[in-house]
């Protein structure tokens, strides 16, 4: 496995959009509110087939994230990421290969890989050049109710043995987040905990603040 420095940009609150929770006419404002609250990474996730709308929305979010100097990733869609000048892409088991994403987006692109509850998938992703790996779900998730359940021990091992940042995802709330950070999660990826909140900015601020709180005690 190639050892390399962890990318310091890949840390903190990582918000993922969901068209079922955030209507199109509120998407930009919702993402901006999350960024004001402390989100450092934004992923555009839309599984629909409306390519024109997806391109418009992704381009608009790229503009917002660029204004605030936060990372912008696209879920699954390598071509869309390239079209809007995203910082990178996040891919899962059923998506395009990491090699294809790297070839299309270039050496400087950030490529994250879903590894579910499997350390072996994370090892393989790192060997193939992933910039970060994601494990989950750690808790019951509205978005993916049937997702495999990852464990705290998996986070501890990944943080100790892998040379890239580690992301935790799946049903994470403010109450449940601290043990994940203590176990080694560099990033917490959330959807509902931020975008279903009545006050998106405040919800993001509470989650983002947990990193400072936990690290100040370590």
CA-CA distance, 69 to 71, in Å (whole number)?
7
Annotation marks residue 216 as catalytic: no
The answer to whether the beta carbons of residues 126 and 1 sit under 8 Å apart is: yes
**Which of 181, 133, 116 minimizes the C-alpha distance to 7?**
133
Residue 104, burial from CB neighbour count under 10 angstroms (0-12, 13-18, 19+): middle
Put residue 69 in one of left, alpha, beta given phi > 0 → left and psi -120 to 50 → alpha.
Answer: left
CA-CA distance, 47 to 31, in Å (whole number)?
18
Catalytic one of 9, 55, 104, 144: 144
Catalytic one of 54, 62, 102, 114: 114
The answer to whether the beta carbons of residues 215 and 8 sit under 8 Å apart is: no
Annotation marks residue 144 as catalytic: yes
Annotation marks residue 102 as catalytic: no
Pairing relation of β-strands 187-190 and 132-135? unpaired
Catalytic one of 9, 36, 45, 104: 45
> Any idea which residues carry the catalytic annotation?
45, 114, 144
């Amino acid at each position: 496995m190639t050892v390399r420095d962890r990318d310091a940009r890949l840390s903190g609150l990582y918000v993922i959009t969901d068209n079922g929770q955030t209507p199109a006419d509120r998407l930009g404002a919702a993402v901006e509110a999350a960024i004001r609250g402390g989100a450092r990474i934004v992923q555009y996730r839309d599984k629909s087939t409306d390519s024109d709308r997806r391109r418009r929305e992704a381009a608009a979010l790229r503009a917002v994230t660029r204004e605030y100097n936060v990372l912008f990733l696209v879920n699954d869609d390598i071509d869309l990421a390239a079209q809007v000048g995203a910082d990178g892409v996040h891919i899962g088991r059923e998506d395009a290969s990491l090699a294809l994403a790297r070839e299309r987006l270039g050496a400087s692109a950030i490529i994250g890989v879903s590894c579910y509850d499997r350390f072996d998938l994370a090892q393989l992703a790192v060997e193939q050049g992933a910039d970060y790996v994601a494990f989950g779900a750690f808790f019951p998730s509205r978005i993916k109710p049937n997702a495999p359940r990852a464990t705290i021990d998996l986070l501890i091992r990944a943080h100790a043995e892998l040379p890239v940042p580690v992301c935790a995802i799946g049903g994470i709330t403010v109450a449940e987040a601290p043990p994940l950070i203590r176990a080694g999660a560099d990033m917490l990826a959330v959807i509902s905990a931020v975008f279903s909140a009545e006050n998106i900015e405040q919800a993001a601020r509470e989650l983002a603040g947990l990193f400072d709180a936990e690290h100040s005690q370590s």
